[in-house]
């Protein structure tokens, strides 16, 4: 069997206690494997352990236990080989805002050992590739957020790595710039055989970009597969009901959970989500039951299961709820 481009086995990482905080187990036996040329999406709410995983795989941090290999090299024993094989695009831009796009790329190429002529050639190639040729001679501080992010990705590719790490690449970008970057990332793996590990807390981004998706929760992979396969595992439909008042005492939940064909129910504020066998038969039954008890409703929608439903199934809470929980922690 071909060597996986990325492999993590049973990674554990605990951050030591601070003055106010107890020790924190950020990774708790995280395991995954990615074949060459695949985009793996690590999807999880803030604090799930995605960046910690990336730091270990890029040799910026060490796991307490477990093993990881990148492009066939062990991250502890062959750090130099790992670093030469990877490109890393961190959450915060690493470009120099005072320098131009070309200067940033050439400098990066020189750091990786390219001759000046090679670095200049590679810079021009990458600027063209990311549609930045016209902006190449401008200082990076004049770039839009989307242009800066594209330059960041270009910087990660200067030395033609085998594996590219993108840590939350589109955070803070407007929808148009986000869609533009999604197209670029899609092309990278498609045409250039690059393996990409992408971390994200956007369900849509994971759905759109990842060939393989691994859902991370509390430092573990709780499920993995293609986004389509993960959604297809969930039979039936997803029903969302917007209530006029929040179901604070669990009344509505209790009423609906007794209905035939209605599965897991989650209530968040005024929104109730239920997994049902058949949307077409469940909706009249749900609305009839609520009407009998004079519980007013503002809207009802039926949809095919989404990645949010997948997340709910494996973690017991919705993605939004998990993100809010983490932000409050």
Contact flag: residue 48 with ligand ATP (CB under 6 A) = yes
Buried b (16+ CB within 10 A) or exposed e, 287-321: eebbeeeebebeebeeeebbbbbbbbbebebbbeb
Contact flag: residue 49 with ligand ATP (CB under 6 A) = yes
Taking contact as CB under 6 A, which single stretch among the options 45-53, 73-81, 175-183, 284-292 is the one that binds ligand ATP?
Answer: 45-53
Contact flag: residue 275 with ligand ATP (CB under 6 A) = no
Contact flag: residue 60 with ligand ATP (CB under 6 A) = no
Q: Give the residue with the Cβ less far from ligand ATP, 20 or 191.
A: 20
Query: Token pair for residue 296?
Result: 């007013």
Contact flag: residue 315 with ligand ATP (CB under 6 A) = no
Q: Which of residues 6-25 bind ligand ATP (CB under 6 A)?
A: 15, 24
Q: Give the residue with the Cβ less far from ligand ATP, 121 or 326.
A: 326
Share in percent of the chain as helix, strand, coil (round to 5)? 40, 25, 35
Q: Give the residue with the Cβ less far from ligand ATP, 24 or 124.
A: 24
Q: Which of residues 148-207 bind ligand ATP (CB under 6 A)?
A: 201
**Interatomic CA distance for residues 35 and 147, integer angstroms:** 30
**Interatomic CA distance for residues 194 and 187, integer angstroms:** 10
Beta strands 297-303; 212-217: pairing state:
unpaired
DSSP-assigned letter for residue 88: E
Please name which of 235, 267, 233 lies closest in space to residue 250, comparing C-alpha atoms.
267
Scan for tokens 């109730």, then name that residue.
Answer: 272
**Interatomic CA distance for residues 202 and 323, integer angstroms:** 11
Exactly one of 6, 11, 26, 206 binds ligand ATP (CB under 6 A); which one? 26
Exactly one of 34, 50, 146, 247 binds ligand ATP (CB under 6 A); which one? 50
| Closest distance of CB 271 from ligand ATP, Å | 24
Residues near ligand ATP, by CB under 6 A? 15, 24, 26, 44, 46-52, 201
């Amino acid at each position: 069997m071909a060597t996986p481009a990325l492999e993590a086995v049973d990674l554990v990482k605990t951050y030591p206690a601070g003055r106010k905080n107890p020790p924190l187990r950020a990774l708790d036996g995280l395991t995954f494997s990615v074949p060459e040329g695949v985009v793996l999406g690590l999807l999880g709410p803030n604090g799930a352990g995605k960046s910690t995983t990336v730091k270990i795989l890029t040799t910026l941090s060490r796991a307490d236990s477990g093993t990881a290999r990148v492009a066939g090299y062990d991250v502890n024993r062959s750090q130099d080989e790992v670093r030469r094989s990877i490109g890393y695009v961190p959450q915060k831009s690493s470009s120099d805002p005072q320098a131009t796009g070309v200067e940033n790329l050439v400098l990066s190429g020189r750091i990786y050992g390219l001759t000046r002529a090679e670095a200049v050639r590679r810079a021009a190639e990458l600027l063209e590739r990311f549609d930045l040729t016209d902006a190449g001679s401008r200082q990076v501080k004049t770039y839009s957020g989307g242009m800066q992010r594209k330059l960041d990705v270009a910087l990660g590719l200067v030395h033609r790595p085998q594996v590219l790490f993108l840590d939350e690449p589109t955070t803070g970008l407007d929808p148009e710039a986000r869609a533009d970057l999604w197209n670029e990332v899609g092309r990278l793996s498609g045409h250039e055989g690059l393996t990409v590990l992408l971390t994200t807390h956007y369900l849509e981004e994971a759905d759109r970009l990842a060939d393989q998706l691994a859902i991370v929760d509390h430092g573990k992979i709780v499920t993995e597969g293609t986004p389509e396969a993960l959604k297809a595992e969930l039979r039936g439909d997803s029903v969302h009901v917007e209530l006029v008042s929040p179901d604070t005492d669990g009344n509505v939940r209790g009423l609906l959970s007794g209905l035939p064909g209605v599965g897991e129910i989650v209530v968040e504020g005024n929104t109730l989500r239920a997994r049902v066998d058949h949307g077409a038969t469940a909706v009249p039954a749900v609305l009839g039951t609520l009407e009998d008890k004079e519980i007013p409703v503002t809207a009802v929608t039926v949809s095919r299961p989404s990645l949010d439903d997948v997340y709910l199934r494996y973690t017991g809470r919705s993605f939004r709820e998990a993100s809010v929980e983490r932000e409050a922690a």
